[in-house]
Structure 1
């Protein structure tokens, strides 16, 4: 049996990754997969666990706030105690944010965002690492294109995702000899509600998105690309042609990349 832990598993990309894995297992005859899902919303988490169980996988819902290191360790401990092993850790939990730096009166929520987006992944990975090494398993880190290219209006979010990228790139090299793969995924704009629930300049929930969302990738396609990359033990999954181009142009024409990043913002949230 393969045991997969997914943080942020109650909604959006994390929930769809779980359902996709369960569906693949079901198509292969089922009962060979155990999913351990962590997120804050117990009700939604149990709904997703039920959907995965209906597809043939075993599923355990563990309410978890990844901003709390004790809860991160508890998530991993419960996975190991219930199923005896961990083969895959998908670090997907995260929160968005959109604010011009000069308009932020209190940087406290910058620290909170870093605890969620970076430290939650670090704490879960540290707890799971002995089990992953024993299984020669896989780590997935769901970063963002904002973790490759700084996006105006997203200083806090970009900082947290750049930090996440740096941590997992270094960890990949450290684990090469242990047979543990590290796949970093870089979604662009995906059709989820994450930006609506992100922090605004005052550290409150935004309630809207500051990005142009025309042509956003479906959550199903995003999850498919992540799962395919995980299964193939790919180093990176950069999901859009614009993202791949932007990464190249960042080296060759950085000013043009800044213009592209500004063009992705709605007019009402652009800096003057």
Structure 2
């Protein structure tokens, strides 16, 4: 197991143990790693994605750790399936404490080379509308528990990124949506936590859509030089437990927020260099 007892401090145990948590995009990458990390806290997990085989594989691992999850196949791009996911959670556990909007997709093409513009709609549907659909279905139950919404966005939601224009647009939308929602639900004591990872090793890069709207098949990332999904999940745990507002997982991301104001052209150069180097 990639997780250590260092994560099992008293504060995390007291704030996470026994929580009912829905995780989308749980079949791979950050979602899978986060589910395994949360299993240490005896959470009641609802794991969801489109790939039943991979979900069942994760469910087997979680069962070995002592707490079998509820497996629910759903496509977050379909509103009725989002509602069905939340209903399945309530039918099973009678409550919901934390909704983790993690499912996502990306692209890898310059906009002026994009041949299939439906790519933009697909990405917006999954990355922005999907979390909106899920959150809408979940809010009545989160108000009852004074629960929490976690949105896994991206550094691309804070700045421009070449070859990722549609992805960056969807993550900008996601951040704007959840920042606004945070204000709306504050009086209901529902917390909203935004997670903005830098590059993370994940299947999402292999499935990134090219200029023709087809999956790349191979990752353009230098995976040995970027954060693993397990490392990202371990960073997320205390932020979720403390119901914090925002996590930016890299130093360049944190410093970039300020340089974007005082030296925006420098941030453009950093973004271009990051894409060119794949790290």
Q: TM-score, normalised by structure 1?
A: 0.93
Cα deviation code 1:14-65 (max 9, x no counterpart): 011111000233xxxxxxx210011000011011122112212240110111
Is 1:212–1:264's contact at 8 Å kept on the other side of the alignment?
no
Cα deviation code 1:76-123 (max 9, x no counterpart): 000000110000000000011111000112211210111111111001
Secondary structure in structure 1 of the residue aligned to 2:69: strand
Gaps of 5+ in 2: 1-17
What is the CA–CA distance in structure 1 between the aligned matches of 2:203 and 2:69, rounded to whole Å? 24
Which of the numbers 46, 62, 71 marks the counterpart of 2:72? Answer: 62
Secondary structure in structure 2 of the residue aligned to 1:265: helix
Gaps of 5+ in 1: 26-32
Offset of residue 153 of structure 1: 0.9
- Please state if 1:52 is matched with 2:69: no
What is the CA–CA distance in structure 1 between the aligned matches of 2:69 and 2:253, rounded to whole Å? 34
Offset of residue 183 of structure 1: 0.5
Secondary structure in structure 1 of the residue aligned to 2:275: coil
Which of the numbers 217, 220, 228 marks the counterpart of 2:227? Answer: 217
- Please state if 1:19 is matched with 2:36: yes
Secondary structure in structure 1 of the residue aligned to 2:46: strand
- Please state if 1:5 is matched with 2:5: no
Cα deviation code 1:146-182 (max 9, x no counterpart): 0111101110000000000000000011111111111
RMSD: 1.4
What is the CA–CA distance in structure 1 between the aligned matches of 2:49 and 2:70, rounded to whole Å? 12
Is 1:37–1:59's contact at 8 Å kept on the other side of the alignment?
yes
Q: After the TM superposition, which segments of 4 or more aligned residues of structure 1 sit over 6 Å from their partners?
A: none
What is the CA–CA distance in structure 2 between the aligned matches of 1:207 and 1:264, rounded to whole Å? 20
Which of the numbers 128, 151, 156 marks the counterpart of 2:138? Answer: 128
- Please state if 1:166 is matched with 2:171: no
Secondary structure in structure 2 of the residue aligned to 1:185: strand
Offset of residue 194 of structure 1: 1.1
